[in-house]
């Protein structure tokens, strides 16, 4: 292989730039040309492709977002879209592709691999919802952003003696809510995988209030439902003054933490190494601090599981 490509796809995640940098630099280290595909699969279809040099990725390791831009692309879900993408790759002489993104992005990478075009996936999403890796790029940074926000909300919650419902991202996955809730001592954590009933949440709040607790924090993953309607129901059921904060896309931005930069650098370099070693249709990941790679089909057909011990612990500590 003499020429490879790299793209970022789906929701951006802090650390994607560090991963792009690692891919580009590791490829150049191996004397391979690297092409950056702009705007995800949409840019691939459109032929929005640029050669990258060592300097193209200078000064980006600390920046959030993705210098390659990202997109969600429905056209690439079709055979036609994928064929157009392969035609562009061939036109540029690109022989293998590294895709940084989440589950949806991996479907695209798998489809290309099935059509005979070698792809490797790197898990990049704040949700930490990918099987076959303990952590995805961006999760740690988003988690720290959430914690910083909740700490601030806690100050005002204490001053006004209010209950706060904080809605965090995570369409199908509760890791952000679970880790943030545990790290912030939330009274209740509601996640798609496992949640207390509404009655249990209300009883917990009432018990705390009777014991003299003046404020409470509830962390709710967006996949469970709207924070606003949940907050309204809580206020009605408890008679405690309740406010709601939806953290939204602030969770996706910001300078990546050291943890995410190191993870992204390791995974980016490993993706190049396994692609050059002839592996195809694989996702690189990290398990017990060791680099691993798994078949993309396996990754997509398995669910990422939350750590049930952590969930149990969060309840034990917020009695």
The residues binding ligand F6P (CB under 6 A) are: 11, 72, 102, 125-127, 169-171, 222, 252
Strands (E), the chain: 3-8, 33-37, 49-52, 96-101, 119-123, 163-168, 188-190, 216-221, 242-246, 282-287, 290-295
CB of 71 to ligand F6P, least distance (A): 9
- Round to whole Å and give the CA distance between 286 and 127: 16
Q: Of 129 and 187, which CB lies nearer to ligand F6P in the complex structure?
A: 129
CB of 254 to ligand F6P, least distance (A): 13
Q: Of 23 and 221, which CB lies nearer to ligand F6P in the complex structure?
A: 221
CB of 252 to ligand F6P, least distance (A): 6
Catalytic residue list: 127
Q: Of 5 and 102, which CB lies nearer to ligand F6P in the complex structure?
A: 102
CB of 91 to ligand F6P, least distance (A): 29
CB of 248 to ligand F6P, least distance (A): 9
Q: Of 108 and 118, which CB lies nearer to ligand F6P in the complex structure?
A: 108
Residue 237, exposed/middle/buried by CB under 10 A (0-12, 13-18, 19+)?
A: middle
Q: Of 24 and 283, which CB lies nearer to ligand F6P in the complex structure?
A: 283
> Which residues, other chains included, contact 231 with Cβ-Cβ below 8 Å and sequence gap of 6+?
165, 242, 243, 244
**Integer CA distances (angstroms), 166 to 45, 141, 220, 274, 278, in order:** 39, 18, 6, 41, 46
- Round to whole Å and give the CA distance between 274 and 260: 21
- With tokens 């996640």, the residue in question is 191
Q: Are the C-beta atoms of residues 85 and 48 closer than 8 Å to each other?
A: no
């Amino acid at each position: 292989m003499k020429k490879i490509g790299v793209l970022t796809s789906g929701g951006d995640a802090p650390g994607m730039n560090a991963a792009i940098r690692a891919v580009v630099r590791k490829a150049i280290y191996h004397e391979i040309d690297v092409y950056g595909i702009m705007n995800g699969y949409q840019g691939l279809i459109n032929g929005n492709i640029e050669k990258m040099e060592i300097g193209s990725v200078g000064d980006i390791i600390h920046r959030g977002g993705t210098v390659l831009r990202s997109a969600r692309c429905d056209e690439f879900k079709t055979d036609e879209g994928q064929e157009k993408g392969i035609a562009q790759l061939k036109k540029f002489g690109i022989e293998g592709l590294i895709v940084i993104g989440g589950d949806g992005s991996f479907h695209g990478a798998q489809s290309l691999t099935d059509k005979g075009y070698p792809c490797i996936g790197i898990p990049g999403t704040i949700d930490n919802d990918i099987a076959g890796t303990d952590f995805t790029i961006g999760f740690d940074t988003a988690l720290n952003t959430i914690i910083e926000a909740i700490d601030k909300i806690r100050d005002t919650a204490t001053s006004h003696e209010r209950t706060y419902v904080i809605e965090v991202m995570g369409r199908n996955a509760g890791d952000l809510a679970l880790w943030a809730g545990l790290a912030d001592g939330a009274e209740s954590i509601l996640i798609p995988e496992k949640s207390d009933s509404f009655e249990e949440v209300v009883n917990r709040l009432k018990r705390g209030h009777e014991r003299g607790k003046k404020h409470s924090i509830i962390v709710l993953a967006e996949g469970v439902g709207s924070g606003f309607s949940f907050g309204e129901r809580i206020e009605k059921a408890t008679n405690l003054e309740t406010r709601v904060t939806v953290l939204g896309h602030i969770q996706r931005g910001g300078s990546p933490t050291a943890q995410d930069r190191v993870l992204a650098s390791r995974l980016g370099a490993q993706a190049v190494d396994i692609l050059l070693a002839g592996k195809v249709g694989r996702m690189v990941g990290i398990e017990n601090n060791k680099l691993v790679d798994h078949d993309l089909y396996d990754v997509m057909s398995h669910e990422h599981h939350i750590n049930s011990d952590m969930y149990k612990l969060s309840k034990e500590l917020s009695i």
